[in-house]
């Protein structure tokens, strides 16, 4: 089956002529319309009849998810033979379309279906927003894959799970909370709007994006990243500036994890569906997988670094003296088939770069001690990346039994964090972990996105046959911690851009941290005769990403364009600066201060701003006139 889904203000059709031996019987005039609807242009293909139930089940999911993401309950099913050259028999198509209609109605949707086997005229418009168009192929007959995106049992369990929600304050008091009339009851949230938004987001479990996040405009305007129409949705293109930012973050996080003791490894991006350990683990991890047929076997693309690190640990000889054993990989890329309505810019992707650090621990006591070491590592990484404590909200998810047995540990963690923490408790464990914590960022649309996360895994040591030899010479399975100290690199970029937008609402100029700014200093000659002087200044700024605005535009236009690029330092160079050596510097700070600085003072200030953070050259032409424009 092939689907083309359009979010429309109105769809109206009328039949004109029956197709011989195919036309479905109709009553009335054969015309109808539906307002504010998802129009599902549907082509039933030859193999669909042999897999009717699976085809209809997946089509229902795709259509209902699209309807939910755009906020409508109205569906117009429209048979459309022009999406495929491999058409099914008319009788099969009618049966499948009728079944699809009934299944969608069972979901509580209002459904109209135009008749099969008729030439028809129709009028519709497409709303034209980011989620208004979707095409999908549904082909469960592909060997071994009932869905393109394999959905784990853990993900299914997560949908069905019922949680209790609490706020744990730094003083150690646990407050059970609930939602009444779209407000939080059970804890005083006066003056803490961000925590309220976070709680509402978490309890509602709402991942679908109904409006474009502000960072999407910024990532395009700054020529950082963009959607790639030639790929699967959720796979991005990164322009030179975006690749620089991404590379700096990758190297920075990797360096910090190595300082902590993480041993960097590299592993494959695809794994065998039928490997016994992997097959079992797939259903304990809440993710949808890409399934691929190779010449030799059916494989899935990894959604984390767990597989390679666990298989490597299985083959290693490990003593209790080696614990905690810290393995690290920066996965470029990890793959998850996130739902279409959840994809928005850099926030949630199907291909992403994940720093993934596992620690093998002897027992629960060592696991908790190691988790606190990593807790501080993650906080420092986020702080140095550019996030303040007020930007981050913490959640802890665990079983009720874990909390009862480790209450003091949980309270110590919250006290160390220093702010109220959202607690989700499950009555039973349906993942491979007993407990995990997250550091979350709340964006301009009120969506929470996890950056850091760490988990206490009690299953995979045994599942993968990972053992260590204890002090008595006995083999034991370790506990395993799963840490992403920063979260996906792309999500860090999203959060920094959203933070810049939120700052702008407070009157603070939008900016990236100095060490991540593609151009750190722009030199603006007032005329062509001062370009040579700019070249001399640039030569005195090693370890600074500097460029020269050598176009023939006015000085005012050059400065405005530099400000649109969020450049931290703009230096205007004219006769006065050339003669005196005193530079006129415009800093990207509140009030846009313009100051005069000796060259040595500027160099000293730039060195202080850079500090020990990761640095790289710009990787673009020094002269602005030599650069291509990638957007607009």
Q: What is the CATH number of the domain that holds 413?
A: 3.30.930.10
**Banded pLDDT at 275 (limits 50, 70, 90):** confident
Please check whether residue 533 lies inside any domain of the structure: yes
Q: How far is CA 318 from CA 325, 362, 365, 469, in A?
A: 9, 11, 19, 6
**Residues 6 or more apart whose Cβ sits within 8 Å of residue 446:** 197, 200, 201
Burial 456-472 (b: 16+ CB within 10 A, else e): bbbbbbebbebbbeeee
- Tell me the mean pLDDT in the region 465-484: 97
Please check whether residue 507 lies inside any domain of the structure: no
**Residues 6 or more apart whose Cβ sits within 8 Å of residue 191:** none
In 3D space, the residue among 377, 477, 493, 483 whose CA is nearest the CA of residue 441 turns out to be: 493
Check whether residue 135 and residue 225 sit in a common domain: no
Check whether residue 369 and residue 234 sit in a common domain: yes
Helix 407-417 vs helix 364-385: crossing angle, to nearest 10: 10
**Banded pLDDT at 196 (limits 50, 70, 90):** confident
In 3D space, the residue among 442, 450, 565, 438 whose CA is nearest the CA of residue 498 turns out to be: 442
Check whether residue 133 and residue 43 sit in a common domain: yes
Please check whether residue 446 lies inside any domain of the structure: yes
Q: What are phi and psi of 21, to 5 degrees?
A: 65, 5
Give the domain-ending residue among 465, 497, 529.
Answer: 497
**Banded pLDDT at 161 (limits 50, 70, 90):** low
The structure's pTM equals 0.76
Check whether residue 478 and residue 532 sit in a common domain: no
Q: Is the pLDDT of residue 155 over 70?
A: no
Please check whether residue 154 lies inside any domain of the structure: no
Query: What pLDDT was estimated at residue 147?
Result: 42
Give the SS3 label for residue 405.
helix
**Banded pLDDT at 163 (limits 50, 70, 90):** confident
Does 162 or 316 have the greater pLDDT score?
316
- Tell me the mean pLDDT in the region 299-322: 94
Check whether residue 186 and residue 264 sit in a common domain: yes
Answer positive or negative: Cα dihedral of 43, 49, 51, 56.
Answer: positive
Does 283 or 429 have the greater pLDDT score?
429
Does 281 or 180 have the greater pLDDT score?
180
Q: Is the pLDDT of residue 142 over 60?
A: no
Give the domain-ending residue among 497, 532, 548.
Answer: 497
In 3D space, the residue among 124, 160, 135, 132 whose CA is nearest the CA of residue 69 turns out to be: 132
Q: Is the pLDDT of residue 146 over 50?
A: no
> How many domains is the chain partitioned into structurally?
3
Containing 563, the helix (H) or strand (E) segment is helix 555-564
Answer positive or negative: Cα dihedral of 292, 452, 246, 349.
Answer: positive
Distance CA 365, CA 374 (A): 14
Check whether residue 453 and residue 487 sit in a common domain: yes
Please check whether residue 360 lies inside any domain of the structure: yes
- Tell me the mean pLDDT in the region 428-454: 92
CA atoms within a 13 Å half-sphere pointing along the CA-CB vector of 232: 16
Q: Is the pLDDT of residue 287 over 70?
A: no
**Residue percentage of the chain with pLDDT more than 70:** 94
- Tell me the mean pLDDT in the region 371-382: 98
Check whether residue 326 and residue 425 sit in a common domain: yes
Query: What pLDDT was estimated at residue 28?
Result: 82
Check whether residue 101 and residue 218 sit in a common domain: no
Query: What pLDDT was estimated at residue 152?
Result: 52
Check whether residue 23 and residue 125 sit in a common domain: yes
The long-range contacts involving 178-182, CB below 8 angstroms and separated by at least 24 positions, are 179/203, 179/204
pLDDT in tens, 569-628: 999 999 999 999 899 999 999 886 799 999 999 999 999 999 999 999 999 999 999 999
Give the domain-ending residue among 462, 497, 532.
Answer: 497
Please check whether residue 475 lies inside any domain of the structure: yes
pLDDT in tens, 499-521: 999 999 999 999 999 999 999 99
**Banded pLDDT at 209 (limits 50, 70, 90):** low
**Banded pLDDT at 145 (limits 50, 70, 90):** very low
Query: What pLDDT was estimated at residue 143?
Result: 40
What mean pLDDT value characterizes the chain? 91
Check whether residue 235 and residue 338 sit in a common domain: yes
Answer positive or negative: Cα dihedral of 210, 214, 215, 217.
Answer: positive
Domain that holds residue 128: 2-141
Distance CA 406, CA 168 (A): 14
The CATH code of the domain that includes 71 is: 3.50.80.10
Check whether residue 379 and residue 412 sit in a common domain: yes
Q: Is the pLDDT of residue 204 over 80?
A: no
Q: Which residues pair with 7 in a beta bridge?
A: 38
The CATH code of the domain that includes 525 is: 3.40.50.800
Distance CA 408, CA 591 (A): 47
Does 184 or 266 have the greater pLDDT score?
266
**In the chain, what are the helix, strand and coil shares in percent, each to the nearest 5?**
35, 30, 35
Does 387 or 87 have the greater pLDDT score?
387
**Banded pLDDT at 532 (limits 50, 70, 90):** very high
Q: Is the pLDDT of residue 343 over 80?
A: yes
In 3D space, the residue among 237, 268, 281, 278 whose CA is nearest the CA of residue 331 turns out to be: 268
Query: What pLDDT was estimated at residue 310?
Result: 95
pLDDT in tens, 92-128: 899 999 999 999 999 899 999 999 999 999 999 999 8
- Taking residue 119's Cβ as centre, other Cβ atoms within 10 Å add up to 10
Check whether residue 217 and residue 365 sit in a common domain: yes
Strands 569-573 and 521-525: parallel
Strands 448-457 and 479-484: antiparallel
Please check whether residue 467 lies inside any domain of the structure: yes
- Tell me the mean pLDDT in the region 553-558: 95
Please check whether residue 150 lies inside any domain of the structure: no
């Amino acid at each position: 089956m092939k689907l083309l889904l359009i979010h429309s203000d109105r769809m109206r059709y009328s039949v004109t002529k029956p197709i011989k031996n195919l036309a479905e019987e109709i009553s009335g005039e054969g015309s109808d319309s539906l307002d504010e609807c998802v129009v599902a242009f549907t082509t039933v293909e030859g193999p669909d009849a042999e897999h009717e139930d699976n085809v209809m089940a997946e089509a229902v999911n795709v259509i209902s998810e699209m309807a939910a993401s755009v906020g409508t309950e109205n569906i117009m099913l429209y048979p459309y033979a022009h999406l495929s050259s491999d058409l099914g028999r008319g009788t099969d198509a009618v049966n499948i379309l009728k079944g699809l209609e009934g299944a969608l109605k069972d979901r509580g949707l209002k459904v109209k279906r135009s008749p099969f086997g008729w030439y028809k005229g129709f009028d519709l418009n497409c709303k034209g927003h980011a989620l208004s168009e979707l095409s999908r192929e549904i082909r469960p007959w592909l060997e071994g894959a009932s869905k393109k995106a394999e959905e784990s049992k853990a993900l299914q369990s997560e949908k069905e799970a019922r949680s209790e929600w609490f706020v744990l304050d730094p003083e150690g008091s646990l407050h059970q909370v609930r939602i009444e009339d779209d407000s939080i009851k059970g804890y005083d949230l006066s003056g803490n709007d961000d925590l309220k938004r976070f709680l509402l987001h978490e309890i509602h479990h709402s991942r679908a994006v109904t409006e474009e996040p502000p960072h999407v405009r910024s990532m395009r305007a700054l020529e950082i990243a963009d959607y790639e129409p030639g790929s699967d949705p959720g796979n991005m293109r990164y322009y030179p500036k975006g690749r620089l930012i991404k590379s700096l973050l990758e190297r920075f996080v990797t360096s910090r994890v190595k300082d902590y003791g993480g041993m960097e490894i590299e592993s494959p991006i695809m794994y065998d569906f039928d490997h016994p350990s992997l097959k079992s683990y797939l259903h304990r991890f809440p993710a949808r997988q890409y399934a691929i047929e190779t010449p030799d076997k059916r494989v899935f693309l990894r959604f984390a670094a767990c597989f390679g690190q666990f298989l490597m640990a299985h083959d290693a000889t490990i003593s209790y003296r080696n614990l905690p054993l810290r393995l690290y990989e920066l996965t470029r890329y990890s793959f998850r088939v996130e739902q279409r309505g959840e994809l928005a810019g850099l926030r949630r992707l199907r291909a992403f770069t994940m720093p993934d650090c596992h620690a093998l621990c002897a027992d629960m006591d060592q696991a908790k001690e190691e988790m606190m070491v990593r807790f501080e590592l993650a906080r420092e990484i986020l702080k140095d990346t550019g996030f303040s404590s007020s930007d981050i909200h913490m959640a802890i998810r665990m079983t009720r039994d874990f909390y009862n047995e480790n209450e003091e540990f949980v309270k110590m963690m919250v006290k160390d964090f220093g702010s109220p923490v959202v607690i989700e408790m499950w009555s039973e464990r349906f993942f491979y972990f007993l407990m995990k914590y997250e550091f979350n960022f709340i964006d301009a649309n009120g969506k929470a996105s996890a950056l850091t996360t760490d988990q206490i895994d009690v299953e995979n040591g045994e599942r993968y046959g990972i053992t260590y030899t204890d002090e008595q010479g006995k083999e034991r399975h370790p506990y395993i911690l799963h840490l992403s100290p920063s979260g996906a690199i792309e999500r860090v970029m999203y959060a920094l851009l959203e933070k810049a937008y939120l700052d702008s609402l407070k009157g603070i100029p939008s900016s990236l941290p100095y060490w991540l700014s593609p151009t750190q200093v722009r030199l603006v000659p007032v005329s062509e005769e001062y370009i040579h002087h700019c070249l001399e200044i640039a030569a005195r700024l090693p370890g600074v990403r500097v460029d020269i605005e050598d176009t023939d535009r006015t000085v005012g236009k050059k400065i405005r364009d530099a400000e649109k690029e969020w450049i931290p330092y703009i230096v205007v160079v004219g006769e006065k600066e050339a003669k005196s050596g005193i530079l006129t510097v415009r800093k990207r700070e509140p009030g846009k201060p313009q100051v005069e600085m000796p060259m040595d003072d500027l160099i000293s200030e730039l060195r202080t701003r850079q500090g020990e953070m990761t640095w790289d050259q710009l990787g673009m032409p020094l002269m602005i006139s030599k650069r291509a424009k990638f957007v607009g």
